Structure 1
Amino acid sequence: MTFYAFAKRIVSPILKKMYRVEVKGLEHFPEQGGVLLCSNHIDNMDPPILGVTCPRPISFMAKAELFNVPILSGIIKKLNAFPVKRGGNDREALRTGLKVLKEGKVLGLFPEGTRSKTGKLGKGLAGAGYFALRTNAQVIPCAIIGSYRIFQKVKVIYGKPIDMSELREKKASPEEATNLIMTHIQQLLNENR
């Protein structure tokens, strides 16, 4: 058993009970092949909540600062996370993300790049669109809704794969692709509040 599977087995029942987690749309999640999972970002608990609800292991792009914290660094590396330097064009992170998708794994991204202070969906960064256009990975939008107060419900909604074929064919910009992804995340938020 991998460390990821072991951690999920231990943490999953605790988080699901603590936040009364409700999951919808798992039937939309591809069983195999590269998947770009794009979610809104409202709390530091978002990655663990996605980790315990997603049917497949997720490799998260995480802010580089987390890899400077001694014990945490070792744990998140074992949970498939890899560093990204925020606020610039981090070529190494882009290469790693493409590799994850081309190997048929799940890459987890928060396109806003940081947590929303208001709970409203912010503007998405071009990185999500870059990965969507540069690979044939299926793009799954996701919405997390809730306050993360103990014993108050948190909902995780996985949407249907977004058809990126038209944007890939017309060689759209990463910004255009990200905007389409953000529209789908907003739609999930609107439909499930």
Structure 2
Amino acid sequence: MNLYKLGKFICTVLLYPLYRIKVIGRENIPKEGPVLICSNHIANVDPPVVGITSNRDIYFMAKEELFKNPVLGGILKRVHAFPIKRGMRDRNALRKGLEVLEGNNALGLFPEGTRQKSGEVGQGLAGAGFFALRSEAYVVPCAIIGPYRTFKPLKVVYGKPIDMTEYRQEKASAKVVTDRIMEEIRQLHKIHSE
């Protein structure tokens, strides 16, 4: 068993009962081909939660500082994470993300770039739009509806893939595409919070 599968198994056993996770719309994630999963970000535990609720193995970007610890950095690399420098355009991370998608894999992003502790869906950075425009990936919005409280229900909702055809043909800006993705996440959050 590789480290990713082992980690997914351990997180599933621990997190599902701890947060009484309910998954809605998992069938909206295409089982094959490149997929960009874009989620809101409310807590540090979001990446493993998205990882265990998805039907695909997911590659995630993680802040560069986490890789400076030799033990943690080694583990992160073996569970499909790769570093990104925050607060600047990181060409290596962008290139790596495109390689992930070109290999018909799933790339997980938190477009807000930082946690929104209020639980509200914030504004997204242009990176999500960049990957959506520069690849042929299906773009799947995801809403995590918390807060994370022990033994209290947490929802993870996957929406239908967003049709990017028109945006790609019109060569829309990455920011415009990110805004569309964030609006889809916001709608999922609103509908399923009630």
The bucket for the TM-score relative to the shorter chain is over 0.9
Deviations 1:98-119 (A, max 9, x none): 0000100000000000001321
Q: Give how far 1:4 is off.
A: 0.6
Which residue identity does 2:67 align to in structure 1? F
Q: Does 2:115 correspond to 1:115?
A: yes
Query: d(CA) in 2 for partners of 1:172 and 1:147?
Result: 34
Matched, 1:77 2:64: no
* TM score, norm. by length of structure 1: 0.98
Q: Which amino acid is the alignment partner of residue 145 of structure 2?
A: I
Distance 1:11 1:47 in 2: 11
- 1:69 CA displacement: 2.0
SS at match of 1:157: strand
SS where residue 93 of structure 1 aligns?
Answer: helix
CA shift digits 1:101-141 (9 cap, x unpaired)? 01000000000000013211111000000000000000000
Give the drift of 1:9.
Answer: 1.5
Say yes or no: does 1:20 pair with 2:20. yes
In 2, Cα distance between equivalents of 1:21 and 1:181: 23
Task: Specify the code of the residue in structure 1 equivalent to 2:22.
Answer: E
Q: CA deviation at 1:70?
A: 2.6
Match of 1:163 in 2: 163
Match of 1:44 in 2: 44
What are the superposed Cα offsets for residues 11-41 of structure 1, whole Å, 9 maximum, x if unpaired?
2121100000000001111001000000000
The CA distance in 1 between the partners of 2:181 and 2:58, in whole Å, is 18
SS in 1 for 2:136: coil
Q: Which residue of 1 aligns with 2:126?
A: 126
What SS does structure 2 have at the residue aligned with 1:142?
Answer: strand
**Deviation, structure 1 residue 67:** 0.6
Q: Could you list the runs of 5+ residues in structure 2 that have no partner in the other structure?
A: none
**2:62 aligned counterpart, secondary structure:** strand
Q: Provide the C-alpha distance between the structure 2 equivalents of 1:30 and 1:148, rounded to a whole number of angstroms.
A: 27
What is the DSSP-based 3-state SS (H/G/I as helix, E as strand, rest coil) of the residue aligned with 2:140?
strand
State how far apart, in whole Å, the 1-side matches of 2:94 and 2:131 are.
8
Shift of 1:10: 2.1
Shift of 1:73: 1.1
1:138 aligns with 2:138: yes
Contact 2:119 2:146 (C-alpha < 8 Å) held by counterparts = no
Gaps of 5+ in 1: none
**Match in the other structure for 1:32:** 32
2:11 aligned partner, one-letter code = V
